[in-house]
Amino acid sequence: MSGLNQWQINRISTIASVIEEVKTGKVRGIARAITLLELDGPDSQTVLDNLEPISRQASVIGITGYPGAGKSTLIDQLISVYRSQSKKIGILAVDTSSPFTGGAILGDRIRMQNHSLDDRVYIRSMATRGHRGGLAKATRGAIRVLEAAGFDVILIETIGVGQEEGEIAQLAQTVVLVVVPGLGDDVQAMKAGILEIAHIVVVNKADHQGTTATIQALQEWVPKVLSTVATTGEGLQSVVEAIATHQDVVRSKK
Ligand SMILES: Nc1nc2c(ncn2[C@@H]2O[C@H](COP(=O)(O)OP(=O)(O)OP(=O)(O)O)[C@@H](O)[C@H]2O)c(=O)[nH]1
Ligand SMILES: [Mg+2]
């Protein structure tokens, strides 16, 4: 290392220790690695290069849908199921605080805190607001970090409209779209966009009126339409099975 100055040597050894912590699944290392990727500075490529050889293959599931549809509540239920299967689960909540539900990220933390003391569950909010394409880049890196740390399932929560819908289709193997009853004409509007990339559509808040009509309207366009009440866990088992079935298809194609 004779060509390097002390600062460069320190930097390299810091990254090496972060990578070492990631490999052993240490939360602190995972958090630092993802922060380096978010900063998108010179260290971010070094982190990625060092993760490459230890990367594994996790199930990457996108949970997408309009603000307030119940994505976080559904994820909280999915965490419980995957935990009972002894899986390690990472959650990347990307830009979920909408102008409508401001402060949702804090809400998410509170809702998901059932799991916050569990070292087999890692929850991270990723702020990419204002960065065009930032979701894809930093999130792809964060997925690598979690894979390297031995996570089996990675759930990505996104609003999934506009620019983001193409990005989530590239990041996740299985895309679950969460909608609520009473979509009506919106189904027409969604056809060319998010419905095209969704593998599974979940009509959540099935305790509200209009669930059957919404399911019927969607069934014309999407192969798999299910309904849930995320707050009680009703219908959740079917969602878990549909995800597993789609994951089998994904893996058989590799
Ligand atoms: N009645 C009813 N309420 C629900 C159901 N699922 C979620 N909710 C409620 O709907 C509100 C929004 O749920 P969240 O899980 O935060 O929705 P989200 O899609 O994550 O919202 P953003 O992150 O802001 O996009 C909360 O008050 C939930 O308790 C359901 O099945 N039925
Ligand atoms: Mg949410």
Q: What is the pLDDT of residues 129-162, one digit of tens each?
A: 555 555 667 889 999 999 999 999 999 998 766 6
CATH architecture of 57-252: 3-Layer(aba) Sandwich (3.40)
The full set of domain ranges for the chain reads 1-54, 57-252
Ligand 1 pocket at CB < 6 A: 65, 67-73, 96, 98, 101, 104, 107, 159, 204-205, 207, 229-231
Q: Which atom of ligand 1 is the closest one to the Cα of 101?
A: 24
Determine whether 207 is exposed, middle or buried from the number of CB atoms within 10 Å of its CB (0-12, 13-18, 19+).
Answer: middle
Centroid of ligand 1 to alpha carbon of 71 (angstroms):
7
Q: Which stretches in the chain have pLDDT values below 70?
A: 1-2, 95-118, 127-136, 160-165, 192
Centroid of ligand 2 to alpha carbon of 215 (angstroms):
22
pLDDT computed for residue 240 by the predictor: 98
Supply the pTM of this predicted model: 0.89
pLDDT computed for residue 150 by the predictor: 94
pLDDT computed for residue 227 by the predictor: 98
Q: What is the pLDDT of residues 166-189, one digit of tens each?
A: 778 888 999 999 999 998 777 777
Quick one: which ligand is closest to 159's CA?
1
Q: Considering only CA atoms, which residue is closest to atom 2 of ligand 1? A: 205
